[in-house]
Amino acid sequence: MALLKSAAGVFSTAAFRLTASILATFTLLAAVVAYLLFQQTNDVLSEQVIATLRDEAATLSREAEMGGLAGLTEAVRVRSRPDGPGLYYLANGQGQKLAGNLNRVPPELSANPKGAVFRYERGSGASARTHLAVAVPAPIMPLPLTPAPWTSGVKLVVGRDVEEQRIFAERMKGIFFFGFGVLTLAGLLGGLAIGRVVMGRIETMTSASRSIMAGDLSRRIPLAGSGDELDDLALSLNAMLERIEQLMNGLKEVSDNIAHDLKTPLNRLRNRAEASLRDPRGEAAHKEGLERTIEEADELIKTFNALLLIARLEAGAVEENSETFELGALVRDVTELYQPVAEEAGQSLAVETADGPLIRANKQLVVQAVANLIDNAMKYGSVLTAREGAKAGAGQGGANGAASTISITVSHAGTNAEIAVADRGPGISAADRERVLKRFVRLEQSRTAPGTGLGLSLVAAVARLHKGAVRLEDNAPGLRVVLSLPV
């Protein structure tokens, strides 16, 4: 029963149906070609036989012209061998048979005087057999100006036994049908084998997909190693599954991080509003509480706006709005905006840009990415600054100044333009550099420092949108972040 179900499943596969369709088309076309070839061969053989008979009839007519009825009779008698292929019938004007190995004029000649196919009995008694033959009438003409009353009513039929040709044709038909039967059977068996192979591989893919749908996102579709289109499909599906697993893990991580990063400020927002309502100072306390609540709400809105922008960038839903601009000038403008903030924090921004380079990109997004890089460097580069400042004291301003310098460079790198922002902070270990490009990832586990963990994620999303890349390198000490964009 299982075998029947398996066979039924194979018969219903697309591979078997396709093979059967190709086989049926090929068989039909081959049958048409073989039939036309057979008919053409049969027509050629028939024309050759009839041409031969007409030539022989013409020869006998010349015998009659020269030798009269007696000469014609003798010629027919000599040619009429009992077992020979030649068939003859000669009768005088009174209908009496004079010579020949046929008993009568074939009645088929009455319907077709130019020549006809007929059957006749050959042999006698138990050995008699029906044979197929072709015959044509031979005209008997007297010599010119010579009275020949003997020609009146004389009938001469010249024929040929074609039984061997008929047997050959029947054998060819048998071989034809046998060959096509074998071809059809082989095709069906081949289709069955192909269907089983394809169905087996598809069943493997189906089994893997069921496991994945059941929750095993680490499962992958096995490859046969043949390098065929099914292996290509499996590779594409595995790459898709890899991406889905990454997205699901990222979604889980984002969900966990949202719980940490948004729940605390929301609770703080609520507690602050409640405390303001209970403050005995009255209207002044209420106003102060509302102002601080608005500030907290603005920070939350910024977080959600950053999340929305990253999602739109990754989905490719941001309008292109590309324009050609000088990257060095743009970086200098953004640095000037941050220079006062850096000075207040005891830091300095050192800018080094080459002429140009010109790039074509979304200018607002590039500005946002550069601003995020500078903001990160100022925020986390100051950690080392504070530590060194505490150790060095007020008398070591030179060392402290070196530690608080953030360098920003713009340079060419082949077909790309690179923006590098380097600080002298604690840096990021090589194991964490890939991870910090994800959303809400913060290496400070206590999460007491300001920030949401979306800065580098936004930079990475801008780079992907413009077919660029982000690299995190060691600045010894500190971190060097390189944003690469195609020129």
98-148 pLDDT tens trace? 888 888 888 888 777 778 888 888 777 677 788 888 888 877 755 444 455
Judged against a pLDDT cut of 50, whether residue 403 lies above it is answered with no
Query: Comparing 198 with 10, which gets the higher pLDDT?
Result: 198
DSSP symbols for 31-73: HHHHHHHHHHHHHHHHHHHHHHHHHHHHHHHHHHHHHHHHHHH
Whether residues 289 and 165 fall in one domain = no
User: Which among 376, 265, 361 is positioned nearest to 322, based on CA atoms?
Assistant: 361
Would you put residue 356 in left (φ > 0), alpha (ψ -120 to 50) or beta? Answer: left
447 pLDDT tier (thresholds 50, 70, 90): very low
Number of domains in the chain: 4
5 belongs to a structural domain: no
Cα angle: 370, vertex 373, 379; to 5 degrees: 140
Query: pLDDT tens-digit profile of 29-60?
Result: 877 887 787 778 777 777 788 888 888 888 88
**Segment 148-158 mean pLDDT:** 69
What predicted TM-score, i.e. pTM, was given to this entire model? 0.47
Query: Comparing 46 with 2, which gets the higher pLDDT?
Result: 46
390: buried, middle or exposed (CB in 10 Å: 19+, 13-18, 0-12)? exposed
Place of tokens 């830091």: 347
Residue 360, beta-bridge partner list: 324
User: Which among 187, 190, 225 is positioned nearest to 204, based on CA atoms?
Assistant: 225
- Residue 179 has which token pair? 């060959």
CB 487 within 8 A of CB 301: no
444 belongs to a structural domain: yes
Q: Give the CA-trace dihedral at 157, 163, 165, 170, to 10 degrees.
A: 140
117 belongs to a structural domain: yes
Whether residues 407 and 397 fall in one domain = yes
Whether residues 294 and 344 fall in one domain = no
Query: pLDDT tens-digit profile of 248-274?
Result: 776 676 666 666 666 777 777 788 788
Whether residues 349 and 230 fall in one domain = no
**Segment 358-381 mean pLDDT:** 85
pLDDT computed for residue 146 by the predictor:
45
Residue 121, beta-bridge partner list: 130
% the chain with pLDDT above 70: 80
Whether residues 300 and 374 fall in one domain = no
**Segment 89-97 mean pLDDT:** 81
Whether residues 149 and 227 fall in one domain = no
- Residue 353 has which token pair? 């840009």
pLDDT computed for residue 393 by the predictor:
41
pLDDT computed for residue 223 by the predictor:
82
361 belongs to a structural domain: yes
Buried-state track 344-368, b at ≥16 Cβ within 10 A, e below 16: ebebebebebeeebebebbbebbbb
Judged against a pLDDT cut of 50, whether residue 388 lies above it is answered with no
pLDDT computed for residue 401 by the predictor:
43
Q: How far apart are CA 462 and CA 457, in angstroms?
A: 9
pLDDT computed for residue 427 by the predictor:
82
pLDDT computed for residue 257 by the predictor:
63
pLDDT computed for residue 392 by the predictor:
40
103 belongs to a structural domain: yes
- Residue 251 has which token pair? 């979604």
pLDDT computed for residue 312 by the predictor:
66
Whether residues 237 and 269 fall in one domain = no
Whether residues 234 and 113 fall in one domain = no
Q: How far apart are CA 37 and CA 180, in angstroms?
A: 15
192 belongs to a structural domain: no
Give CA 248 to chain center in angstroms: 27
Q: Which long-range contacts (CB under 8 A, 24 or more apart) does 121-129 make?
A: 122/161
User: Which among 164, 160, 226 is positioned nearest to 197, based on CA atoms?
Assistant: 226
202 belongs to a structural domain: no
**Segment 17-26 mean pLDDT:** 75
445 belongs to a structural domain: yes
**Segment 330-341 mean pLDDT:** 88
Query: pLDDT tens-digit profile of 209-254?
Result: 888 888 787 888 888 777 777 788 888 888 888 888 877 776 676 6
**Segment 82-95 mean pLDDT:** 82
Judged against a pLDDT cut of 50, whether residue 311 lies above it is answered with yes
Question: What's the chain's average pLDDT?
Answer: 76
Preceding amide of 340 cis, omega within 30: no
Domain that holds residue 484: 318-487
Whether residues 363 and 482 fall in one domain = yes
Judged against a pLDDT cut of 70, whether residue 152 lies above it is answered with no
pLDDT computed for residue 387 by the predictor:
46
Whether residues 23 and 126 fall in one domain = yes
396 pLDDT tier (thresholds 50, 70, 90): very low
